[in-house]
Amino acid sequence: MRLIIAAVGRLKDGAERELLERYRERFAAMAKRLGFNLVVWHEVAESRAATAAKRCAEEGAGLLKLARDADAIIALDERGKALTSQGFAELLRKTRDDGAGAAAILIGGPDGLAPAVRAASHMQVSFGAIPLPHGLARIVLAEQLYRAATILAGHPYHRG
C-alpha cells in the first residue's frame, strides 16, 4: 500500500525538521517489509487568504488534490477519534489488509481542517484533546507511524 502524508505548512530547518526526519527514516526502514511500499510526504503551502474560512478552503483543496488517488483518507483532527498506539497500528493494518492501494493521512494548518477534508475523510483521528501546532502534529504522526510499524513487526520499541 502506498502511503501519502500531506500537511499544511513548511517546517523550518532546525530541531523540528531533524526530529521529523529521524522518525521518517526509522519508519521508512521498516515500511516495505510491512507492505507500505511507498511513503510520500508533501507540504502544502499555507494560504494567505484574508479569512480563516477561505484559508481552510484553499489549504483543504491542496490536501485533497494530493489525496485524490487514495482509497482511504485519514484526517488528523482534534475532534476525531482518539486511538491508542495499538489502535492506530490496527487502523493502518486493516487499511492495508482490506486492499487499499493508497491511503492518505492529512494534517490541516493553523486554522484547522476544511469541512471538505472532513467530509472526504473515511476516518478522523485525534492525537489528543489539546490542539497541536501543525508542525508538531507532523512530528507526532511520524513517531506514531514508526511506533505502529514496530507494533506490527513485533519489535520491542512499543512497551505499553
Cell of residue 75, nine digits: 484526517
Percent of the chain exceeding pLDDT 70 equals: 98
Q: Which pTM was predicted?
A: 0.94
Asked if pLDDT for residue 158 goes beyond 80, the answer is no
State yes or no: pLDDT of 26 exceeds 90.
yes
Residue 160 has pLDDT above 80, yes or no: no
- As a whole number, the mean pLDDT across the chain is 94
- Confidence (pLDDT) at 130: 84
Residue 29 CA: distances (Å) to CA of 20, 22, 94, 141: 14, 11, 21, 16
pLDDT value of position 37: 87
CA nearest to 118, candidates 45, 67, 154: 67
How far apart CA 79 and CA 107 sit, in angstroms, is: 13
